Amino acid sequence: MKLKSLVRLVVSLLCISQMAFSQTKMPAKKIDALKKELIDDIEKEKVFTQQMVDMVFSFGELGFQEVETSKYLTDILRKNGFTVQEGIAGIPTSWMATWGSGKPVIAIGSDIDCIPKASQKPGVAWHEPIIEGAPGHGEGHNSGQPLNVTAVLALKKIMEREHIQGTLVMWPGVAEEQLGAKAYYIRDGYFKNIDACIFTHVASNLSVSYGDGGGNGMISVRFNFSGESAHSAGAPWRGKSALDAVELMNVGWNYHREHMEPTQRSHYVVVDGGDQPNVVPSQASVWYYFRERTYQKIKQMYDDAIKMGHGAELMTGTKMAYTVLGSAWPGHFNKPIAETMYQNIRMVGLPVWSADDQLLARAVQKEINSPKTDQRQRPIDGLDTKLDSLTPPEKVSMGGGSDDIADISWNVPTVVLRYPANIPGLPGHNWANAISMATPIAHKGVTAGAKAEALTLLDMFVKPQLLDSAWAYFKNVQTKDTKYIPLISATDKPAIDLNKKIMAEFRPEMKKYYYQPEQYKTYLEQLGIKYPTLKPAGTTKAATAASTDN
Ligand SMILES: [Zn+2]
């Protein structure tokens, strides 16, 4: 035993010193000068950044169908010297783009998918879809990759000139709304050689947090029942209704809900309830998300649901099969990297909002009847003008949403940079969250985020002690008592057929609205939208075309 631990100590010391010796070191004065240069360069690139934000907004692609988005982004990266590997983890719209050489290897990611039925004209302060019923960026996932591209290209220029060693790996969060890809990236080994990861996500302030973020992990499962069809009036006794099984499973789960802890969240949609009433449904499916605070509790929900599915099967004489469509761990983020990033956030500061930006924000808040304070009791009034503080871990959490970046965070030291491209107080996953996403609010917020990210990346490449302390936190604090066990099995497959039909229905019409930067300075200009478009004072009716809100 003693010899073993001595060997382990020597090995870990060697590893640490190896990382330190192979990395570029730089005096503090020089780092400060390079940071100022990065801030200036990224500011100069603001038209390029705006074009990327507007372009991805105009694609509006749902999870696993991000064809145009991925093509557009990888084209830019290829033109800038990156080597692109497409279709990673068996996901056609996924990729990894690599530039540089040697250690450290830093992964930079952000989500790219959008929300069903969230099509919305940017800059218009009420519900007005570009295309009725079409998907749209009602989560703001059009902005994170443009931020990353701007930050990384500015940094790459400096790395080349200053001979800074290291590798940049860019990758997309495909189908984040289905929690559909990141656990597969981990399972299939794509993060094995990564030393740290920076992820970016849209928000309404420039901020970062560390430790347990208080969210839930989850597993997404579709239960399919197969029965026997029959004439619903002529011979109903010969039918075995798959829809009955779905309904009985849901009833069972909703009774079970009474006896679950308050931190759980579970919700479902019936994706197939049969074809028409006079045919006993031979096929029916229900799609569940099961969310909880720990792996063990999520697994318990999953096991309970399978039992309930079997119960419904017995009651109806049908056959049940189930398929995992996605999963996510509860997130835990790296303290040393977050602290460093927060110093850089302070150096960058919030964007300066114009009177028009604030007018739009307040009009949208009024339109959707936004609450007056957020969950941390801070006032909601227009866009944030005070920088958020470094967010410590949640002490007590009642649970909440999930993000599969968490699976990366349990395998590699990771932080999530949140940047101010959206309006505070909105419901999320909603058309209202798309309003700011191709306007000066998003453009300025993304530029600010790109600066904070580039400065933090520079720190990672030229301050070897940062990654050493990141890994020390990861090993000695984060994973001391909690070990990552994947929620997906070795045989589960990414649900790459999701959303295929919806995109096939809407894409031909959506294509007519793809952004054309050669012809129009901005997407607002292309759509002929005056910024901001507000309801005339004293009226509740929309000024232009009738609102389609319902
Ligand atoms: Zn998101």
Q: pLDDT by residue (tens digit) across 153-202?
A: 999 999 999 999 999 999 999 999 999 999 999 999 999 999 999 999 99
Q: Is the pLDDT assigned to residue 543 strictly greater than 60?
A: no
Helix (H, G, I), strand (E, B) or coil at 439: coil
Residue type, 383: L
Using the predicted structure, report yes or no on whether residue 6 has a pLDDT greater than 90. no
Spatial separation of the C-alpha atoms in residues 249 and 245, rounded to whole Å: 6
State how beta strands 283-292 and 265-272 pair: antiparallel
Q: E strands of 265-385, at which residues?
A: 265-272, 283-292, 319-328, 332-333
Helices of type H across 349-480: 355-367, 405-409, 440-462, 464-473
Query: How much is the mean pLDDT over the chain?
Result: 94
Q: Are 429 and 247 in contact (CB under 8 A)?
A: no
- 392 alpha carbon – ligand 1 mean position (Å): 21
* Per-residue pLDDT, 25: 83
**What pLDDT band is residue 537 in, cutting at 50, 70 and 90?**
confident
Average pLDDT estimate for 481-498: 96
> Distance between CA 25 and CA 392 in Å, rounded?
30
Ligand 1 centre from 123 Cα, in Å? Answer: 21
Q: How far apart are CA 345 and CA 320, in angstroms?
A: 51
**CA geometry: angle 503, 530, 127, nearest 5 deg:** 45
Residue predicted with more confidence, 513 or 21: 513
**What distance in Å separates the CA atoms of residue 175 and residue 61, rounded to the nearest whole number?**
10
Residue with the larger pLDDT of the pair 540 and 109: 109
CA of 138 to the centre of ligand 1 (A): 9
Cα 61 to middle of ligand 1, angstroms: 14
What tens digit of pLDDT does each residue of 254-313 get? 999 999 999 999 999 999 999 999 999 999 999 999 999 999 999 999 999 999 999 999
> DSSP per residue over 140-197, as a string?
-TTSHHHHHHHHHHHHHHHHHHHT--EEEEEEEETTGGGT-SHHHHHHTTTTTT-SEE
Rounded to the nearest angstrom, the distance between the alpha carbon of 270 and the centre of ligand 1 is 23
Q: What is the structure's pLDDT at 195? A: 98
* C-alpha 444 to ligand 1 mean position (Å): 19
What residues have their beta carbon closer than 5 A to ion ligand 1? 139
For the cut 80, the answer to whether the pLDDT of residue 540 exceeds it is no
Residue 548 has pLDDT above 50, yes or no: no
For ligand 1, the distance from its centroid to the CA atom of residue 263, given in whole angstroms, is 21
Interval between CA 491 and ligand 1 midpoint (Å): 26
Looking at the DSSP assignment, which residues form a beta bridge with residue 373? 379
The pTM of the full predicted model, rounded to 2 decimals, is 0.92
Question: 70 C-alpha vs ligand 1 centroid, how far in Å?
Answer: 17
At 487 the pLDDT is 96
Distance 409 CA to ligand 1 centre (A): 16
Alpha-carbon distance of 109 to 457, in angstroms, equals 13
Which pLDDT tens digit goes with each residue over 448-457?
999 999 999 9
171 conformational bin, left if phi > 0, alpha if psi -120 to 50, beta if neither:
beta
Q: What is the pLDDT of residue 392?
A: 84
284-299 pLDDT, tens digit each: 999 999 999 999 999 9
